[in-house]
Structure 1
Amino acid sequence: MKPFEKCPVCGGELEDKQVEKLLRGGGNTVSMKVAAEVCLHCGERLYAEDVVKSFEEIRGKLRKQEFSHFRALGQSFTVEENWPNEAIRPTT
């Protein structure tokens, strides 16, 4: 039995989906695909308890700079303060 029949935020219908989840810790980011129940109305994501525990374990490894079981995937960047378009220039 599912913990929720309807979305706890808006009451919308829930559907099982594979979603991309980003986890951050220690200045690092992990991207992963996980199962979630997703509200078809508001987009709220509900994760199983064991999935949430894995999120915490991964965040802990990132904070400790322990990268076993992770594969490097490209590079990450941030926009510098002198970016020419003021509309997306970071605030200081």
Structure 2
Amino acid sequence: LGYRIEAEERIIAYTADTEWTETLISLGRDADLFIAEAYTFDRPVKNHLSLKALEARLADIRPKRLILTHMSDDMLGRLGSLAHETASDGLVVSV
């Protein structure tokens, strides 16, 4: 499941709960902001996306900005070492 919104010359793409699917490439391709689930770091979990699965195809997606969301304790424990922006409660984002 995902959404791609194109308005005012900007593109925002969002993944909800999803495992890797090739559809994520067209969903997030060249988006100004790609908000993507990264539930785990590298462990497959049914109906969820791991950061490693996403990173393996980021070169194909080419988002201008990536924010990770819907993170499990596995990911939250790595916040200080992640190479990508992460969402937090109350985060305000300008696009």
The TM-score with structure 2 as length reference comes to: 0.20
Computing the radius of gyration from Cα coordinates, the structure with the larger value is: 1
Higher relative contact order (CA 8 A, sep 6+): 2
The TM-score with structure 1 as length reference comes to: 0.21
